[in-house]
Amino acid sequence: MLIELLVVLAVLVMISAIMDRYWMSLSFELPRESRLIQENISLNDAIRHIQADVASAENLENDINEPNTLTIELKKGTVFYKFDEGRIIRSKSINTQGDTIWKIPHGKIQCQVLKKGDRGYAVEIKSCIEDDIFGKTQRKMANSNLFFAGAIWETAQ
């Protein structure tokens, strides 16, 4: 009886050592990856809004005083995108709180306006999700987009 109990305990120890990796995935990795995927969905939604605004733009600017701001001049007004740490703000005025705010705590976005003379004709947007795992930063879901001002862009309404 004692030998059978020791054999059962030894088998349970081996099974628990094997299952530890799966338990770690279920309890830590899966929720973290799910959160990062949701942030990437929000980041892509913001980029789709930028694409729509750039497609109908007459001019694009990066403000020298506000390096994290993209200014898009439209026929019906001006739209500003401010890329703060952990969020993207879309507003109709540079000083307002924003019409639309996307909260992306781990999202990183870089914006560069391409110019010919003094007119911006395209914008390059690089984005990714940066996650810190045990002190090491990992870049995930990296994208690079190039949108041209005044390009024809249709959406399914």
pLDDT tens figures, 47-77: 999 999 999 888 898 877 777 889 999 888 8
For residue 138, being part of any structural domain is answered with yes
For residue 59, being part of any structural domain is answered with yes
116-123 contact pairs (CB < 8 A, 24+): 119/59, 120/57, 120/59, 120/60, 120/61, 120/62, 120/149, 121/60, 121/148, 121/149, 122/54, 122/60, 122/146, 122/147, 122/148, 122/149, 123/50, 123/54, 123/60, 123/70, 123/147, 123/149
For residue 155, being part of any structural domain is answered with no
pLDDT of residue 156: 36
For residue 156, being part of any structural domain is answered with no
Single pTM value for the model: 0.76
pLDDT of residue 30: 81
Separation between Cα atoms, residue 63 and residue 71, nearest integer Å:
7
Amino acid code (one letter) for 150: G
For residue 50, being part of any structural domain is answered with yes
pLDDT of residue 68: 84
Low-confidence ranges of the chain (pLDDT < 50): 154-157
For residue 153, being part of any structural domain is answered with no
Domain that holds residue 143: 2-148
The total of structural domains in the chain comes to 1
For residue 39, being part of any structural domain is answered with yes
pLDDT of residue 126: 93
pLDDT of residue 157: 34
